[in-house]
Structure 1
Amino acid sequence: MQSQPPPPATARLAWASRNFRIQTAATVVSGVGNAGAPIAMAFAVLDNGGSTGDVGYVTAARLLPTVLLLLVGGALADRLPRHHVMVAANVFSAVFQGALAALVLTGEPALWQLMLLSAGAGAGYALYAPAAGGMIMESVAPEHAARAFSVYRMGFNGSQIGGAALGGALTAAVGAGWVLALDTVCFLAAAALRFLLEPQAPTAPAEGGGMLRDLREGWQEFASRRWLWVIVLQFSVLVACVGAVEAVYGPAVAKERLGGAQAWGLAMAAYGIGLVATGVLMARWQPRRILLVGNWGVFLFGLPAVALAASAPLPVLWASMFLSGVGVTVFGVNWMIALQQEIPPEAFSRVIAYDELGSLSLAPLGTALAGPVADRLGLSGALWSCAVISLALSAAVLLEPEVRRLSRRRAAPDPVEPADPHPADPHPAPAATATATATATATG
């Protein structure tokens, strides 16, 4: 029997809309700079005589305006063309990141200066993130969600590998200021790409009510789904712990006994490899219980803290970072599918804003307290605490029935590939409100 020729490349990529391709490319470009910037910032503080606590304060200064402005960003992104919001946010972040790079390159910046400029960059992210999440959700058909979200995350996560390794190497070779300058260039390049996105009509009603009504409607969509706010509550503490490990404790341990910025950059690159490698799996694997499977990945988040606390050798640390990346992708892809499936498109960005707000709400406090906690418990004690909390939260969230039961809905067969021989559960868990169908972002 003569075999059928493979479908042409255009058919194989028919699921990838123009906006999806542009947004994915722009995310890769900005991701390269963003992955190296936290490493550079941590060592900019430490190399200028700052303490572990100072690193936490600078990180908290970046996160605080993000938390405060996310809801504004969500309301704007559901009311204005999302690509306009993203371009403006990228340019805004580039201005503050460029000023930060210039400050580090030209002298010994004061702590308050680093905190102020970091806060400006954090405000830019608050305006960008809800619009970006809404745009990527809107550009993907539900029947192609698993493949599209896996490819998107593979692109983003791949940029984390190169960005982290490059950021660590450049910080060690030429200094933190040049890495921050590279991040500025990446922001501007991403803004130029996003300028090419095809305009999407605002989905929020234009007449009456204003932003406060929009935010109330977004809150109703968020709060009416128990599985959604339970996981966001879990991540509010989890992100604070993981953030303290990655932004404060990891660089401090690397400087103290692992050889400095380059060693930590390679550890972050191992994390990125785990993210990308698992993306290949998630493009094909379609588990029925999407949140149950996603949360099994969350159990891996605390492994780097265990390795650092146990003074493990570099290969063990790199392995733990790799497995943590595996867990993030397993969770992230399933989370994006759940949100796109359950949230109405006109509320995408507002629900994403509440998701990110809740998930990041304790992150500034976590990083600000990271130094004092390490002073009191020691680095090892602080790291063990983060590991135990991460494991306990991963187990506790499984007590919620909606998390265990939420199922992937049956999708139309892929026109290019055969239908899944193991279809989704024909009796999925009911949506928590009358308005259901599609959204999201990957938390963490």
Structure 2
Amino acid sequence: MTKFLRLWTGTTASGLATWALPFVLGLAVLERTLTPSALGLVLAARTVGFLIAVPIAGVLADRYSRRQVVLWSGLMATAATPFIAYGLGRSVPLMCAAALVLGAGQGACRPAFQALTAEVVEPSKRQGANAAMTLAVRVTTLVGPGLTALLALFLDAWALVLGTAALWAVAALVPPAGTFAPGRTNTAFFAEFAEGVREARRHPWFLAGLAALAAVCATGYSATSVGLPLISRDRYGTEAVLAAATTAYVVGALVGALIIARWRPRSEGWVAFGGLAAYAVAPLALLLPVHPAVVVGAYVVAGVGVEFFNVPWFTATQREVEPTLLARVSSLDFMVSYGLAPLGLALIAPAMEAFGWPWVLGFCAAVCLLAPAAALLVPSTRRLAR
């Protein structure tokens, strides 16, 4: 239990630091210390660093100790963060370079944390452990904006950015050592990563689920991220709908995580992909001329559904994948799902201008429904087992 508490603390600290930086830099924009275009460049650099580091870290975490990968990736992010703070109002190129290193640290710790969870937590308790991890992320997302705004009354953006460095230090130093001790290898990096891809291909449910997840991320998440602010302003004439729906999504995710922490459905894959498909109600609610309360309710349902997918998905990956290849398969998961999300965000706005937001929202809702349904055609997805 003590080991899991340390792991939970480290994972929560990394998640809070990841979430807090864009919010804090947004405050710097309000203070006119940073321009909106500079903010976009810094966050883009962080994303590039993340995507570069994820596959590399997957190989390293299977080649060496997962705990060591967590340590060095966290220390990398800790060291890079003060340079972002120093660059505020001074040098955007310095901020972008530091954000690239920070993103690499963030990306490197993801597959290592995923694999370390399988080492620290016994199989029968992993679903509850994964639910506890996601609960921590959702709580910080819900409480974080208000807490950060409160701290901003006493601290400037420079000090708040340095605060995220302290969080990364916790993520690096607090997690426990695992039990997995892989042997050293002289195999080339690409050969080792290809071995992880081959392991993923051995699990048809994983490939089908990853394709469905990538489709929902690239369409549904992107469409609602762009469409919700526009429709809140243009249809309802108030930002309150935007704030209420965003909060409702987090509340729904909290409820979903609490339920799935104890629920053990026999056909967990059907529940997981049904939850993923439930995200379709969000773009549908934005598409139809409904009361604002319906939009808020749709986001609650979407939040519940996302956790009904996330927790069984992580648990099944930890259970089914060969332990010596778990970090590489997890890195493939993060790389595909996170990698396509920025592409979707980049394309959604031009698509809305070209075809109109009703057509785009309708298309995205259809993809959110059909992609998980198509995944269920693969027999092994019913129980998320080969």
Scaled by the length of structure 1, what TM-score is found? 0.73
- Seen in structure 2, the aligned counterparts of structure 1 residues 80 and 150 have a Cα distance that, compared at 3 Å, is same
| Superposed displacement of residue 144, structure 1 | 1.7
Contact 2:82–2:165 (8 Å) recurs in 1: no
Aligned-partner residue type, residue 244 of structure 1: S
Residue 358 of structure 2 is aligned to residue 357 of structure 1: no
Q: Deviations over 1:285-327 (max 9, x none)?
A: 1111221211110112233323334465543333222211101
| In structure 1, C-alpha distance between the alignment counterparts of 2:14 and 2:95, rounded to whole Å | 21
- Seen in structure 2, the aligned counterparts of structure 1 residues 277 and 187 have a Cα distance that, compared at 3 Å, is farther
Counterpart in the other structure of 1:435:
none
Question: Where does structure 1 lack aligned partners over 5 or more consecutive residues?
Answer: 1-15, 408-428, 432-444
| Superposed displacement of residue 127, structure 1 | 0.9
Aligned residue among 283, 286, 298 for 1:305: 283
| In structure 2, C-alpha distance between the alignment counterparts of 1:263 and 1:102, rounded to whole Å | 36
Counterpart in the other structure of 1:280:
258
Counterpart in the other structure of 2:166:
188
Aligned residue among 117, 128, 133 for 1:136: 117
Contact 1:234–1:397 (8 Å) recurs in 2: yes
| In structure 2, C-alpha distance between the alignment counterparts of 1:100 and 1:263, rounded to whole Å | 33
Counterpart in the other structure of 1:147:
128
Q: What does 1:30-429 correspond to in 2, within 5 Å? A: 30-38=14-22, 61-94=45-78, 96=80, 98-100=82-84, 106=89, 118-164=99-145, 166=147, 178=157, 182=160, 184-200=162-178, 203-245=181-223, 247-253=225-231, 259-260=238-239, 264-310=242-288, 312=290, 314-404=292-382, 406=383
SS at match of 2:175: coil
Q: How large is the Cα RMSD of the aligned pairs?
A: 3.6
Counterpart in the other structure of 1:415:
none
| In structure 1, C-alpha distance between the alignment counterparts of 2:360 and 2:86, rounded to whole Å | 34
Aligned-partner residue type, residue 62 of structure 2: D
Question: Where does structure 2 lack aligned partners over 5 or more consecutive residues?
Answer: none
Aligned residue among 1, 8, 13 for 1:29: 13
Contact 2:45–2:99 (8 Å) recurs in 1: yes
Contact 1:215–1:350 (8 Å) recurs in 2: yes
- Seen in structure 2, the aligned counterparts of structure 1 residues 299 and 66 have a Cα distance that, compared at 3 Å, is same
- Seen in structure 2, the aligned counterparts of structure 1 residues 305 and 359 have a Cα distance that, compared at 3 Å, is same
Q: How many pairs are equivalent?
A: 383
- Seen in structure 2, the aligned counterparts of structure 1 residues 385 and 69 have a Cα distance that, compared at 3 Å, is same
SS at match of 2:178: coil
| Superposed displacement of residue 227, structure 1 | 1.0
| In structure 1, C-alpha distance between the alignment counterparts of 2:161 and 2:326, rounded to whole Å | 28
Contact 1:28–1:158 (8 Å) recurs in 2: no
Aligned residue among 11, 17, 20 for 2:4: 20
Aligned-partner residue type, residue 129 of structure 1: R
| In structure 1, C-alpha distance between the alignment counterparts of 2:281 and 2:50, rounded to whole Å | 27
- Seen in structure 2, the aligned counterparts of structure 1 residues 252 and 126 have a Cα distance that, compared at 3 Å, is farther
| Superposed displacement of residue 71, structure 1 | 1.0
| In structure 2, C-alpha distance between the alignment counterparts of 1:137 and 1:221, rounded to whole Å | 17
Q: Deviations over 1:170-206 (max 9, x none)?
A: 79x87xx83x964652452242254133333664321
SS at match of 1:362: helix
| In structure 2, C-alpha distance between the alignment counterparts of 1:45 and 1:376, rounded to whole Å | 30
Contact 2:131–2:311 (8 Å) recurs in 1: yes
| Superposed displacement of residue 55, structure 1 | 8.7
Scaled by the length of structure 2, what TM-score is found? 0.83
Contact 2:64–2:184 (8 Å) recurs in 1: no
Task: Give 1 or 2: higher helix fraction.
Answer: 2
Contact 2:61–2:69 (8 Å) recurs in 1: yes
- Seen in structure 2, the aligned counterparts of structure 1 residues 198 and 115 have a Cα distance that, compared at 3 Å, is closer
SS at match of 2:376: helix
In terms of mean alpha carbon deviation, does 40-49 or 119-128 score higher? 40-49
| Superposed displacement of residue 32, structure 1 | 3.5
Q: Deviations over 1:383-417 (max 9, x none)?
A: 3332222122122212212212x26xxxxxxxxxx
In terms of mean alpha carbon deviation, does 28-37 or 392-401 score higher? 28-37
| In structure 2, C-alpha distance between the alignment counterparts of 1:237 and 1:223, rounded to whole Å | 18
The percent identity for this pair of structures is 25
- Seen in structure 2, the aligned counterparts of structure 1 residues 307 and 204 have a Cα distance that, compared at 3 Å, is same
| Superposed displacement of residue 244, structure 1 | 1.8
- Seen in structure 2, the aligned counterparts of structure 1 residues 55 and 399 have a Cα distance that, compared at 3 Å, is farther
| Superposed displacement of residue 251, structure 1 | 4.4
Aligned-partner residue type, residue 68 of structure 1: I
- Seen in structure 2, the aligned counterparts of structure 1 residues 61 and 190 have a Cα distance that, compared at 3 Å, is closer
Contact 2:16–2:167 (8 Å) recurs in 1: no
Counterpart in the other structure of 1:12:
none
